[in-house]
Amino acid sequence: MDNLTNFINGEHVSPLKGQYLDNVNPAKGEVYSKVADSDSEDLAMAVAAAKRSYAHWQTVGYKERAQILNKIADLIDENSESLARAESIDQGKPYWLAKSLDIPRASENFRYFANLILQNTELATAMDSHGVNYVHRKPVGVVGLISPWNLPLYLLTWKIAPALAAGNCVVCKPSELTSKTAHMLGPIMKSAGLPDGVCNIILGLGGKVGAALVSHPDVPAISFTGGTVTARAIIEGSAPYYKKLSLELGGKNPNIIFADCDLDKCIETTLRSSFLNQGEICLCGSRILVEEKIYAEFIDKFVQKVSELKVGDPLDKSSFMGALVSEAHLKKVEGFIERAKKEGGKILTGGVRPDLPLEFQNGYFLRPTVIAGLDSRCEAMQEEIFGPVVTVSSFSTDEEALRLANDTRYGLSASVWTSNINRAHTFSQKLDVGQVWVNAWMKRDLRVPFGGVKFSGVGREGGVDSLDFYTEKQNICISLN
Ligand code: NAD
């Protein structure tokens, strides 16, 4: 059985105490490999390696850094089939999705930030004729990168690429549930010419080795993507060291559908925004709010299409959805459905595990689920479910739609469906979220600021915002008199 080990100072190394966690294939419910169960001593080795390499890496010029990042991108593309297959088996997502979304985005992350440092310029300001200010960007040093299980390589590389581009060394802690592609990335980066110790990857439990990374005194910044509750532990663990934090957290995103929208396009996109990646995307629209006038028509068409979605073998290209990431997560999602029923929710479709061939009967599959009839304050409309479950409700006026959309402690993203250009602007601007898509969902542009408000996050990543996080902007003022 494959042992997934740490990647420290350019080598795969076993955890010092030799302990491993089971790694389960979610589609089969079977242990198929082992993941290093690292502790604070393994972490200390990784941080020490990163610190040693930082002395050299910060002297490597931006053109050479860009060249190495571009080479990593090329090698990810060359290995895209094996990476996509590994991601699908490890996470439960369909292979076609990993091949068309996760892995291409991982290489795009490296290419984008390689390009950004080649193009980036800074402002200088003249103080009349007696002085000049300019911005000097310094890397932060050794940065801790902690990522979740839903888009494993996609989100880890969204952090590694800008951190390295900006001249930092890093210690990564991918999710213990999905460490396979991170394990594969180590040797890819080495083959691309990344010096040893610049990017270290440490595997294991969040509360153990993740917490050790957060409270390590030689790691002055942590970029974290994950749950809102975990973020609190990260804020608390890092507080004694006044660390720089970037927090990309959960969402309870509304899709607001007005009667004047292109309904067919809206329904096609809403199927994806609800159930792509089994609904395990922070940006998934889990609260569907539909204008009363078209509510019945929307429900008829949407529920019909949801009931036709195929759930099954992630490696079969006809499966729209694969398995949820773990048994614990499946049970958590089912718990939300059961409690929603008790709160008066009506299951319009789904809510059950699908009938699948013997090979997949122990897998963590769930039919896509649509629940109607819930009040906005019910648990299923307030808490992030992070699975293939959406609620549908109606509204009569723009004011009511806005009140419902903002009626949550989260504030990550929203989709607004309308053909009224004025409403598109005015309504979007009143939404308390970091990202609004109008007549679209998850149209991503790596140049724009990405992040949430309220309990959905602190800070922005993407484009120059990523460079801002992974550098300290130093002002230098030269007197000219
Ligand atoms: P999680 O918070 O359980 O875990 C995320 C990472 O943090 C994992 O690597 C985990 O091992 C680690 N971790 C756990 N406890 C820790 C601790 N005490 N100290 C340090 N590290 C710790 O999240 P998850 O279940 O892996 O992912 C799902 C969550 O991520 C959802 O809430 C989802 O919305 C969110 N998410 C947000 C975005 C975004 O960009 N805003 C993107 C994807 C996922």
64/186 same-domain check: yes
- Name the residues annotated as catalytic: 248, 282
**What pLDDT score does 11 carry?**
98
Q: Are residues 261 and 186 in the same domain?
A: no
Q: Do 302 and 236 share a domain, yes or no?
A: no
pLDDT at 41: 98
Residue located nearest, by CA, to atom 14 of ligand 1: 206
233 lines ligand 1 (CB under 6 A): yes
Return the best residue to mutate from 105, 146, 156 for the ligand 1 pocket (most ligand atoms within 8 A of CB).
146
* CB of 54 sitting under 6 A from ligand 1: no
DSSP tally for the chain: helices H, then strands E: 16, 23
pLDDT score, position 262? 98
Q: What is the structure's pLDDT at 27?
A: 98
Of 109, 147, 156, 230, the residue with max ligand 1 atoms within 8 A of its CB, to mutate for a pocket test, comes to 230
210 Cβ below 6 A of ligand 1? yes
Q: How far apart are CA 467 and CA 142, in angstroms?
A: 15
**Is there a single domain that holds both residue 335 and residue 438?**
yes
| Centre of ligand 1 from the C-alpha of residue 479, in Å | 47
Q: What is the pLDDT of residue 53?
A: 98
Q: Which two tokens stand for residue 142?
A: 């050794």
Whether the Cβ atoms of residue 32 and residue 23 lie closer than 8 Å to each other: yes
> pLDDT for 226-239, tens place per residue?
999 999 999 999 99
Question: Which residue stretches of the chain have pLDDT < 50?
Answer: none
Determine the structural domain holding residue 386 and report its residue range.
Answer: 254-447
| pLDDT, position 1 | 82
Ligand 1 and 37: CB distance under 6 A: no
| Residue keyed to tokens 């608390």 | 236
Question: What is the residue with the minimal CA distance to atom 35 of ligand 1?
Answer: 226
Asked if residue 409 lies in contact with residue 376, where contact means CB atoms within 8 angstroms, the answer is no
Which residues have a Cβ under 8 Å from the Cβ of 440 and sit 6 or more positions away?
269, 415
* Distance between Cα 103 and ligand 1 center (Å): 20
- Verify whether ligand 1 is closer than 6 Å to residue 384 (CB atom): yes
Does residue 214 have its Cβ closer than 6 Å to ligand 1? yes
Q: Report the separation in Å between the CA atom of 227 and the middle of ligand 1, taken as the mean of its atom positions.
A: 4
Same domain, 165 and 145: yes
Ligand 1 centre to CA of 230 (Å) is 6
Q: Please check whether residue 272 is in contact with residue 368, taking contact to mean a CB–CB distance below 8 angstroms.
A: no
Q: Which residues contact residue 359 at a Cβ distance below 8 angstroms, ignoring those fewer than 6 apart?
A: 28, 313
Identify whether residues 283 and 155 lie together within a single domain.
Answer: no
- Please give the Cα distance from 10 to 65 (Å, whole number): 17
Could you tell me if 182 and 281 lie in one domain? Answer: no
Residues 82 and 118 in one domain: yes
Residue 38: CB within 6 Å of ligand 1?
A: no
CB of 226 closer than 6 angstroms to any ligand 1 atom: yes
**Closest atom, ligand 1, to C-alpha of 149:** 26
Report the domain count for the chain.
2
Read off the pTM.
0.98
Same domain, 228 and 180: yes
From atom 36 of ligand 1, which residue's Cα is the shortest distance away? 226
Structure tokens at 123: 């402002």
CB of 159 shorter than 6 A to ligand 1:
no
Q: In testing the pocket of ligand 1, which one of 282, 456, 458 has its CB within 8 Å of the most ligand atoms?
A: 282
- Identify the residue whose C-alpha is closest to ligand 1 atom 22: 206
The identity of residue 195, as a single letter, is P
CA 234 to chain centre: 17
Residues 213 and 272 in one domain: no
The answer, yes or no, to whether any atom of ligand 1 lies below 6 A from the CB of 249, is yes
Q: How many residues does the chain have?
A: 481
Residue 365: CATH number of its domain: 3.40.309.10
If one residue of 38, 150, 325 were mutated to test the ligand 1 pocket, choosing by the most ligand atoms within 8 A of its CB, it would be: 150
Buried b (16+ CB within 10 A) or exposed e, 151-169: bbbbbbbbbbbbbbbbbbb
Do residues 91 and 6 share a domain? yes
Q: Residue 423's pLDDT is what? A: 98
Is residue 173 lining ligand 1, measured as CB closer than 6 Å?
yes
CATH number at residue 7: 3.40.605.10
Q: Is the CB of 141 under 6 A from ligand 1?
A: no
Write down the residue that tokens 């008066």 correspond to: 344
Pairing type for strands 435-438 and 2-4 reads unpaired
Based on the domain organization, do 49 and 156 belong to the same domain?
A: yes
- What distance in angstroms lies between residue 473's CA and the mean position of ligand 1's atoms? 28
